[in-house]
Amino acid sequence: MQTVKRAYWLLTLLVYVTLPVLAQSNADSIKLARAAFIKSQTVKADSLNNAALKLATPNADAGNLNKAIANIMAGLHVYSKFRDSAGLRETFDHLGLVYHLQKKYTQAKWFIIQSNSLSRERHDTLNIIASLINLAAVKEDIKDFSLAKRDLNEALSLAKTQPGAGPQVDVQKALAVYYTKKGDTPGAAMALNRIKFLNDSVEKVIAGRTNAAVKQDTFSKATSTVINKGPAQNWSLVIILAIIITAVLAFIFILAYLKSKKNNK
């Protein structure tokens, strides 16, 4: 009879241990399913943005530019729904680009400023620099050279805090355009000379970043595999083990019960 009681309590304990495991496994499955759904939706938004960029060329007609805006707005709705701040920032960049091409400077500035604000919230220095360059380009076209120079000066200061020469080269290219539009030939020449000086180190920086990007991508894929597949496999092993233990305990319980019944006779 003592054996029966022990088997009963072991079986009860197993149930209490197994149920949370099963519940956690189900919760993880729901999270993975939601993540996959969100990813599928943002991929659609990415495709809409990519299609818009193919339409938004410097020589595009009004019809193609309007189609580009429609595609970007559709993507914006998806990014906003799922609170994808990176997607929102890229969308604001694209809208700023298209409105700039349409010479709708007020709208272009507004969307570029939104991109700049999101980049600052995320402490994303490279995209702060990019948005400042884009903002300066719009201001140059409306002859607001003093404010454009202020944006480029800030971009250059930030670029100097970044590793490698790439960010500084980007700003110097923008400065060369700025001085050219302003009619300042010496200033443009100075920016071009600075680019020439920096270009010797750019190839080394690009090569280093490429290698780092490949390693990071490999690491990310490996990590993703561990995160997405590892836990699922572990839960499966736990569940299988729990079933085996349950079966063994049930078998012991039955044998004990039969033995007890036989002894009582």
For residue range 118-151, what is the model confidence (pLDDT) as tens digits?
999 999 999 999 999 999 999 999 999 999 999 9
pLDDT higher than 80, residue 153: yes
For residue range 46-81, what is the model confidence (pLDDT) as tens digits?
878 888 888 888 888 999 999 999 988 888 888 888
Mean pLDDT computed over 37-44: 61
Mean pLDDT computed over 25-42: 54
pLDDT at 118: 94
- What's the pTM? 0.62
Of residues 37 and 5, more confidence is placed in: 5
42 confidence band (pLDDT: 50, 70, 90)? low
Neighbours of 61 (CB within 10 A): 9
Domains of the chain: 2-264 (1.25.40.10)
pLDDT at 52: 84
pLDDT at 202: 66
Q: How far is Cα 83 from Cα 164, in angstroms, rounded to an integer?
A: 32
Of residues 96 and 75, more confidence is placed in: 96
Q: Among 54-58, 152-156, 193-197, 254-258, whose mean pLDDT is lowest?
A: 254-258
For residue range 198-250, what is the model confidence (pLDDT) as tens digits?
988 767 666 666 766 776 776 666 666 555 555 555 566 667 776 777 766 76
For every residue of the chain, DSSP letters joined together read: -HHHHHHHHHHHHHHHHHHHHHHHHHHHHHHHHHHHHHHHHHHHHHHHHHHHHHH--TT--HHHHHHHHHHHHHHHHHHHHTT-HHHHHHHHHHHHHHHHHTT-HHHHHHHHHHHHHHHHHTT-HHHHHHHHHHHHHHHHHTT-HHHHHHHHHHHHHHHTTSSSSHHHHHHHHHHHHHHHHHT-HHHHHHHHHHHHHHHHHHHHHHHHHHHHHHHHHHHHHHHHHHHHHHHHHHHHHHHHHHHHHHHHHHHHHHHHHHHHHHHH-
For residue range 181-199, what is the model confidence (pLDDT) as tens digits?
999 999 999 999 999 999 8
Task: For the chain, give the mean pLDDT.
Answer: 80
pLDDT at 116: 96
The structure tokens 């060369």 sit at 176
pLDDT at 154: 97
